[in-house]
Amino acid sequence: MNDVIHIQPLTKEAFAPFGDVIDTAGAPDKVINQGKCGRYHDRATLDFNGGRAGVSLFKAEPRSLPLSLQMVERHPDGSQAFIPMSEHGFLIVVAPDEDGAPGTPIAFESVPGQAINFHRGIWHGVLTPLSEPGLFAVVDRIGTGANLEEHWFDAPYSVAPIREDAGEGPAEVS
């Protein structure tokens, strides 16, 4: 078993090396629909090498913590956005690239109202809801050719919440 990875809150700053946090933080960019709707414009950088953007629905079984993280994957030809269709946060695992292989993973937990977009080529864990119904809209590349690379760790990592009584804080992101 590899090290324990402690989950930290999902923030735009901490997640920036891996992708975009999609939320309604701050004032809307525009107010539309007769003043009844705030538009938070262009919150994710969708990036596709060939193909086109497609919207799919994923229904994933919730996982429990601690989670045994055995593998990560990446999509070299397209970004991938996960948009929860319920009022629950979810677990997000990413890893920096180290010479074509994933480095030590980092875990985040979103809060209701947050979605994410992985940039193209970012190592990440699979879709991991922690609550029912596990329903997500996913925007990713639809096209020909292989767009999935998996990496299985020699030994799994354990992903666990931060223990409040241990005084541990969120891990630093470099």
Question: Within a domain: residue 174?
Answer: no
Three-class DSSP category at 13 = helix
Residue entry with tokens 């922690």: 130
Domain with 37, as residue range(s), is 4-162
The helix (run of H) or strand (run of E) holding residue 71 is strand 67-74
Residue 101, number of CB atoms within 10 A of its CB: 10
Tens-digit pLDDT profile for residues 102-141: 999 999 999 999 999 999 999 999 999 999 999 999 999 9
Q: What's the confidence (pLDDT) of residue 172? A: 39
Question: Does some domain include residue 34?
Answer: yes
Mean pLDDT of 8-16: 97
Task: Report the number of distinct structural domains present in the chain.
Answer: 1
In this structure, what token pair is assigned to residue 149? 């690379």
pLDDT tens for 47-84 read: 999 999 999 999 999 999 999 999 999 999 999 999 99
Domain membership of residue 173 (yes or no) is no
**CATH code at position 106:** 2.60.120.480
Output the pTM of the full model: 0.90
